[in-house]
Amino acid sequence: MDLRFNDIFSHPANDVFQVVFFPDRIYHAQYLNATRSERYRYNVQEVRAKADITAIKGQVFMDDAFYTNFVRIEYRSARLVEAMRIEGRLQGNAVRARVRFYFDDAKRDLTKPQTLNAGDPLIRLYYCPWIDAYQMEMWGTLEVPSGDYHAPDVLTMMGRNGAITRVPQLQGFLNEVKRIREIDLEFLEDNVMSPSGYLLPDTATKTDDFYFRNLQVPNTQNPSDPGNTIAKASYTLNFDRGFFIPDASQVRPVRYRNGMMMQDNPDRRDDNVIEMRWLLQDEFASALVFFHEVTIPPSTVEGTHQHLGSEELYFIIEGNGIAYMGANDNPSLAVKDAAGADRYPLVKRHLFGLDPKDVRELPVKKGSVIFTKSGGIHGIRNPSATEPLKFVAFLYQSA
């Protein structure tokens, strides 16, 4: 890390825009495994996080000389805990992770399911109270030159099933750690129960493999074609530092017929087709799920629906329309105009998968913003017979 970041951290401009955050300046360096001995120090090159996962890559120095490259994985296991509770089991002192690396020149085939398999390395992570998470470090080597030795308190962590380990299948990646662009991960409960040591068969294990997430890919322009929904049964942490889309209008859309509508919805019809350009999805490293551009063609509707466990923001960029918000989602909207009528009228709308509910009609135009929290209701209609309605949307996991 450039030490000048310490100076600009307290600069008044950083107080406003928060360019530099504490975790980006120093990442609990004293809690990385080998720092239990003063003989070792780390050069952390990149840190990425997604959901309960943190991945760190960089270099290890021993006695002030470069020793090896490393990749560290940390996991806080909230989803795996829930999966195991279903089986009446609690987590012990370890979990397992299946891992796959990609170099910067690797090309993914996003038209096919994105899953890990039994051929990908399976590693063990151990609970560390210093960081309140499971963790392990993959090093490029554990050997030392003839006549040298590892510090005893670090040596005890090393080995095939140690918190510091070497994974032969990944040796080529560790040799060129700067080129690692992506890491795919899924997590499994340990197959050894703690503290009994009872061995669980693999068929009994529970996994956290991104919890039903998928990617939307324009494999076909057929509306609501299942071939456009690609299973994403792993977490991807991406080390790229920037993304550029020269012209979002050139991104092929995915088309949906009667999105968020059940069979009894009176707005359903064969030509009720909306388009979504999925600009960013798996690239995000936080609770942000996607960023896309949505086109509601003339006389078309996106079905009204209720969010649970997620939040979504709409920002209108073109056209005029009617948005719907739950009747009680924003109490400040219950106002009257000069004639005593509701400024934002109450109407009843069919709710996707649920009973019809009262919502407020909100006129929207270029520059309007709709923000829906978990439990909130929203939908949108384009009443124009000639002009499209467009907005960009961000969706977040709310917990």
Evaluate whether residue 370 is within a structural domain.
Answer: yes
Q: Are residues 47 and 192 in the same domain?
A: yes
Residues 203 and 247 in one domain: no
User: Averaged over 24-31, what is the pLDDT?
Assistant: 63
pLDDT of residue 374: 94
Q: Quickly state the pLDDT bin for 397 (edges 50, 70, 90).
A: confident
Q: Which among 133, 122, 239, 139 has a CA at the least distance from the CA of 186?
A: 122
DSSP structural state of residue 192: B
pTM of the model: 0.91
Whole-angstrom distance, CA of residue 371 vs CA of residue 365: 15
Give me the residue label for tokens 């709709």: 370
- Mean pLDDT of the residues in the chain: 92
pLDDT confidence of residue 82: 87
Domain's final residue, options 208, 227, 262: 208
Please indicate, yes or no, whether residues 158 and 259 belong to a single structural domain of this protein: no
Range of the domain at 117: 32-208
**One domain for residues 254 and 354:** yes
Alpha-carbon torsion (247, 248, 251, 257), positive or negative: negative
Does residue 9 belong to any structural domain of this protein?
Answer: no
Cβ atoms 109, 217 nearer than 8 A: no
Buried-exposed string 282-313: b where 16+ CB fall within 10 A, e elsewhere:
bebbeebbbbbbbbbbeebbbbbbbbeebbbe
Residues 118 and 199 in one domain: yes
Let me know if residue 15 belongs to a domain.
no
CA distances from 50 to 74, 242, 282, 381 (A): 11, 16, 10, 34
Confidence at residue 344, expressed as pLDDT on a 0 to 100 scale? 97
Mean of pLDDT values over 105-116? 85
Find the CATH number of the domain harbouring 273: 2.60.120.10
Q: Does 315 share its domain with 181?
A: no
> Token pair for residue 46?
């990149």
Distances (CA, A) of 214 to 209, 224, 227, 281, 355: 11, 14, 12, 9, 27
pLDDT 10s digits, 215-240: 999 999 999 999 999 998 899 999 99
> Domains in the chain: how many in total?
2
DSSP letter (8 states) at residue 336: B
Assess whether 73 and 187 both reside in one domain. yes
User: Would you state the structure tokens that stand for residue 145, as one six-digit string?
Assistant: 């030159």
Q: Is residue 5 part of a domain?
A: no
Residue that finishes a domain, picked among 208, 230, 261: 208
117 and 181 both lie in a single domain? yes
Buried b (16+ CB within 10 A) or exposed e, 180-202: bebbbbbbbbbbbeeeeeeeeee
Q: In angstroms, rounded to a whole number, what is the distance separating the alpha carbons of residues 391 and 319? A: 9
pLDDT at 191: 87
Asked if 281 and 268 count as a contact pair (C-beta separation under 8 A), the reply is no
Would the pLDDT of 154 be above 70? yes
Q: Is residue 143 included in any domain, yes or no?
A: yes
Region for residue 328 given its phi and psi (left: phi exceeds 0; alpha: psi -120 to 50; beta: otherwise): alpha
Any domain includes 295: yes
Quote the pLDDT of residue 287. 74
In Å, how far are 148, 250, 278, 311, 352 from 229, measured between CA atoms? Answer: 54, 20, 12, 21, 19
Is the peptide bond prior to 363 cis by the omega test (within 30 degrees of 0)? no
In-domain check, residue 193:
yes
**Distance from CA of residue 219 to its chain's centroid?**
23
Beta strand 214-216 pairing with 310-318: unpaired
Q: What is the pLDDT of residues 237-260, one digit of tens each?
A: 999 999 999 999 999 999 999 999
Residue 335 lies in a domain: yes
Domain identity same for 392 and 303: yes
Contact 263, 357 (CB under 8 A): no
pLDDT digits (tens, 9 = 90+) for 268-321: 999 999 999 999 999 988 777 899 999 999 999 999 999 999 999 999 999 999
**60: phi then psi, degrees, rounded to nearest 5:** -115, 135
Q: What burial class does residue 237 get, using C-beta atoms within 10 Å of its C-beta: 0-12 exposed, 13-18 middle, 19+ buried? A: buried
Q: What does the block give as tokens for 5?
A: 């970041």
252 and 191 within one domain: no
**Do both 178 and 116 map to the same domain?**
yes
Which of 301, 280, 306, 282 has its CA nearest to residue 393? Answer: 280
Q: Are 188 and 41 found together in one domain?
A: yes
